[in-house]
Amino acid sequence: MAKSYENEHPIKAFGWAARDTSGVLSPFNFSRRVTGEKDVQFKVMYCGICHSDLHQLKNEWGNSKYPIVPGHEVVGVVTEVGSKVEKFEVGDKVGVGCMVGSCRECENCSVDLENYCPRQIPTYNGYSPGETLTFGGYSDIMVTDEHFVVHWPENLSMDAAPLLCAGITTYSPLKYYGLDKPGMHIGVVGLGGLGHMAVKFAKAFGTKVTVISTSANKKQEAIECLGADSFLISRDPEQMKAAMSTLDGIIDTVSAVHPILPLLSLLKAHGKLVMVGAPEKPVELPVFPLLMGRKLVGGSLIGGMKETQEMLDFAAKHNITPVIEVVPMDYVNTALERLLKSDVKYRFVLDIGNTLKATN
């Protein structure tokens, strides 16, 4: 059983929570911690609905701690700052992504890779020091250590909240694996919340982008709306054969189990296949195609705080925003049902600021 905070914030918090594995959300009254010396308190304006919210609400990863207030794509406005806060002032626009704490002293933390800290504290469904449960952005206020808060660029629309998870999840591997060089040819597998952001960032880096999908359904949209250069249907052997050894890298966003041999065949020598989706079961890894061409299969998880800020500034400069459907708070259960059926282009964003109404 999670404990409550020793020092609760005098202003009560309100949000929507799931109480059990049904994953159904309903209104929930709770308390945040009092704003500490290094904390920023902010009013939540928008929060994206991420596919991982769905998994955790229903305990599909087996680690859910109820009640769960989801939300890790959170954008808001600062309402209070602690006495030692250096980076923020009341009134600043801010964002909080997938984590709200880390050890701050390990090998990873010391090089701005808090996302790989073994003691990283997730924004929700995790424990703060003191054993209190963390609650996410499907709520009216948040209190977060300033180190895990980013500045929201002035010319970036506040409802572009999915940049904080879907955005950084695709930006970071393109940079880290060197797949951001103009003239490269990049494949993006799966055109959902993550995939559509991968296309936009890869295009902004000046690469040629091919979307790889099981059906032709999304072809027109990928090319006309998202700016992809070409579209490849993975179930069409002719097309796949013609595209063999043409890609420098692939960002694979699919979270269902799927064969990766066809993808490895698309890579040039030294090509890199980067997985950012998380299939529940292991995928089969054919080694022979890796040897033939010194290819690499890697993974990547969100990004550190410094890189998250860099990504937001880049997005603002290049006018990169997610394609979203903004919905009111009381639509959340319907939105989750539709997300389960992939019935959204490409991300739902909850309009918390205008539609979350406290009830007692």
Q: By the criterion CB under 5 A, which residues form the site for Zn ion? A: 50, 52, 102-103, 106, 109, 117, 165
Nearer to Zn ion, 233 or 301 (CB): 301
Nearer to Zn ion, 119 or 268 (CB): 119
Q: Residue 127, SS3?
A: strand
Strands (E), the chain: 13-18, 25-30, 39-49, 74-81, 93-96, 99-101, 121-122, 141-145, 150-151, 185-189, 208-213, 230-233, 247-252, 267-275, 296-299, 324-327, 347-350
Query: CB-hemisphere CA count at 13 Å for 329?
Result: 26
DSSP 334: H
CB of 109 to Zn ion, least distance (A): 3
Token pair for residue 331?
């639509």
CB of 278 to Zn ion, least distance (A): 11
CB of 240 to Zn ion, least distance (A): 30
CB of 173 to Zn ion, least distance (A): 15
Distance CA 315, CA 311 (A): 6
Distance CA 345, CA 358 (A): 29
Nearer to Zn ion, 262 or 322 (CB): 322
Nearer to Zn ion, 103 or 223 (CB): 103
Radius of gyration of the chain (CA): 20
CB of 31 to Zn ion, least distance (A): 25
Nearer to Zn ion, 51 or 272 (CB): 51
CB of 348 to Zn ion, least distance (A): 12
Nearer to Zn ion, 102 or 253 (CB): 102
CB of 122 to Zn ion, least distance (A): 10
Any idea which residue has 């600062």 for tokens?
78
Q: How far is CA 261 from the centre of its chain?
A: 26
Q: What are the residues whose beta carbons fall under 8 Å from the beta carbon of 92, sequence distance 6 or more?
A: 77, 78, 151, 152
Distance CA 298, CA 225 (A): 29
Nearer to Zn ion, 109 or 324 (CB): 109
